[in-house]
Structure 1
């Protein structure tokens, strides 16, 4: 097959997802075209055998949701036309929007005018914001309603299929979108990468310059409000056991200065290590190899987690929020512990429980989950889906 993958996002989760899919599909003999915004430095993670097509993505001011979303959707509509041109040139058999979340409306509009101009489409939804019952504003409510309408129309076509990453998400979509059924929406896990390096824990701590004698908790990823790095900082102030907390990843709403402030407020038994900023690819594995536990103090209910999957590759215990997609994955696969979402007290309690029982947690279920989500296994499942659509 000639397979096209589309994603304009270069954040960690998206890069891993796309590079693993491209690698698998290329390895098993398919011709792969990757359509993206620019040749980011992370392009080196992609196999040289694929055809990378760059489309200039227009800059959109995001200070006003209503204006920026209208502008974004209009410009994405124009991008669909450019993507069609690449599909025609490369004779694409199946087109996979691997970050489908903001494409339903542009695709709906394009296909209303050009109903037969695109190949069969798979669309991976990472977070189903459009199913929320409590949107942030009237503008959000209108946009989410229009997105639902667009998805409903798109799914009524036999040649479009949605991929979700969790059973919770699939249930919400089928409940919210009339034409969504088990025939046109499939839950497939995001692929788990192999270890880049098999690093012993002691060596990982040596690489990072951290104390291997202390229980080590890792917060990895961008320091955004919804990911709750501040909740973790507040919770460890109440922990009674000695431990160290490593913050690694790019700044967002929370800056390096905030982590330094949290460090100053921490009790003597808690050591906070500030490694905010870009983490080079060759250092990522060291962080997870050094960690005894990956904590996901997320405020958000929807969406999955790249650090969860990477942690499982290293047989690492996971603590995450219940009543969330991440919590469902942790609970149903016995990957670790759950805390009450948004509760500092609950998270603190679970961290204390972990520290007290650090050597008693079996890692067999974590290892099993990682194996089941391995990129080759998931790649085969997605390849099968493509074959059915074509």
Structure 2
């Protein structure tokens, strides 16, 4: 098959998710056409993929504008991108949008003006891509953006329902059963059989190094247990909760923060490093894909102090591939996944004290935790399994 993949975003999990979706398909013998902007910052991550052609779209708009201007311009820009894809004259068997979140409005506008010339498959990661979190006073400097969320939220809900109910999108994909049930409940016009659960394509650990060697490569010499926070240090991911918990830990340990700074910066991390029992290390920048494995091999435990309830972190799956223990928030998709698959522990969402207690318990009892559930879940999420399921879905359209 000739398969189109759309990637208009590349920060956070987007580049890795797109890359391993593509590899899962090319390794099955399919040809993939990647539609992505000329200014994709991490396009080099795709260089080693055979049977893939890059189809360049216009560069993304300048974000150095007011929030209202940026949002409106992004809608027109994304409409232009979809129009170019529809008019590309590439004979595709299917077009897959691996992250439809916040693209529903421009995609509906484009497909209303011009019928898509090929079947459409799209994946959503949240039922509300404009989700606002409780107690987010640290976002006060983004008040205009927060106000802007409300009209787009309603229109996005309408657009999502219409695209699927009218079969403009032939199949809607999600990555967990919880997300499927929530999608059907929230979007009343979307029927149960229109939504499919597929594995989130996750690569196995490819670096053949010991934990000690991995630690040395990333600058950690301590023999103490390492607790990893991996990803952009945004408020909804709760890095501040983990930093506050680190202040109260009594056992010798290393807390490692790896990812781009967000609302939490290098200065915040440095100022927290006052506990004599805890060593806080950080690398606050984008971690290239070929170095990601080292962080998960080096760690003993992945901590996900997330505030948001929807979505399953790509870091969780990468940690499972490395056979690591996981601590995450209860009453969330992450917490449900941890509990149902016996991946580790859950703590009370947003509670510094609860997180501290769970970390302390892990540091005392970490050798007693079975890893069977972790390895089983890792096999389910392997990118090759995702490719096989996508192949079936595409073939049945």
TM bucket, shorter chain: over 0.9
SS at match of 2:96: strand
- Determine helix, strand or coil for the equivalent of 1:109: helix
- How far residue 314 of structure 1 moved from its aligned partner, in angstroms, is 0.7
Looking at structure 1, the residues matched to 189 and 261 of structure 2 have their Cα atoms a distance apart, in angstroms, of 40
- Decide whether the 8 Å contact of 1:130 with 1:145 is kept in 2: no
* 8 Å CA contact retained: 1:202, 1:212: no
Instruction: Select between 152-161 and 120-129 the one with higher mean Cα deviation.
Output: 152-161
1:334-383: CA deviation from partner (whole Å, max 9, x where unpaired):
11111111110010010011111110001111011001110001111111
Which residue is equivalent to 1:43? 44
8 Å contact kept, 1:35–1:55: yes
Looking at structure 2, the residues matched to 62 and 124 of structure 1 have their Cα atoms a distance apart, in angstroms, of 29
1:325 is aligned to 2:308 = no
The match for 1:373 is: 381
Judged with a 3 Å threshold, the aligned counterparts in structure 2 of structure 1 residues 276 and 139 are, in CA distance, closer, same or farther, namely: closer
Unaligned runs of 5+ in 1: none
Could you list the per-position Cα deviations for residues 111-161 of structure 1 after superposition, in whole angstroms to 9, with x for gaps in the alignment? 2222x3431111111222159698985542221111111111111233522
1:283 is aligned, of 291, 299, 313, to 291
Please tell me whether residue 203 in structure 1 is matched to residue 202 in structure 2: no
Cα separation, 2, equivalents of 1:152 and 1:262? 45
In the alignment, structure 1 residue 356 sits paired with structure 2 residue 364: yes
Q: Displacement, 1:100?
A: 0.4
Aligned residue runs from structure 1 range 331-346, under 5 A = 331-346=339-354
Q: Cα deviation per residue 1:156-210 (whole Å; 9 max; x = unaligned)? A: 2335221112222222221121221222111222111021212211222222332
* Of 225-234 and 153-162, the range deviating more from structure 2: 153-162
Structure 2 unaligned regions, length at least 5? 135-144
For residue 185 of structure 2, the aligned residue among 162, 165, 175 is 175
CA deviations over 1:65-106 (Å, ceiling 9, x no partner): 4443333222212221111122xx220111101110122111
RMSD between aligned alpha carbons?
A: 2.1
User: Any idea what SS the aligned residue of 1:100 has?
Assistant: coil
Structure 1 CA distance for aligned equivalents of residues 332 and 356 of structure 2: 18
Which has the higher mean CA deviation after the structures are superposed, 226-235 or 37-46? 37-46
After superposition, the C-alpha distances for 1:1-29 in whole angstroms (9 at most, x for unaligned) are 21100011222522222111212211222
The equivalent residue for 1:10 is 10
Q: Aligned partners of 2:297, 2:113: CA distance in 1, in Å?
A: 52
Corresponding residue of 2:118: 119
What is the distance in 1 between the residues matched to 2:225 and 2:54? 43
Take 1:130 and 1:288, find their aligned partners in 2: how far apart are those partners? 28
Residue 146 of structure 1 corresponds to which residue in structure 2? 155
What TM-score comes out, normalization by structure 2 length?
0.91
Q: What's the counterpart of residue 77 of structure 1?
A: 79
In structure 1, distance between residues paired with 2:69 and 2:289: 36
CA distance in 2, matches of 1:109, 1:249: 35
Q: Is the 8 A contact 2:133 2:236 kept in 1?
A: no
Structure-1-length-normalised TM-score: 0.92
Conserved in 2, the CA contact under 8 Å of 1:3 and 1:92?
yes
Find the residue that maps to 2:366 and give its secondary structure. coil
Mapped to 2, the partners of 1:174 and 1:352 lie a distance apart of 39
Q: Give distance in 1, aligned partners of 2:81 and 2:46.
A: 25
Write the mapping of 1:205-220 to structure 2, written as runs, cut at 5 A: 205-220=215-230
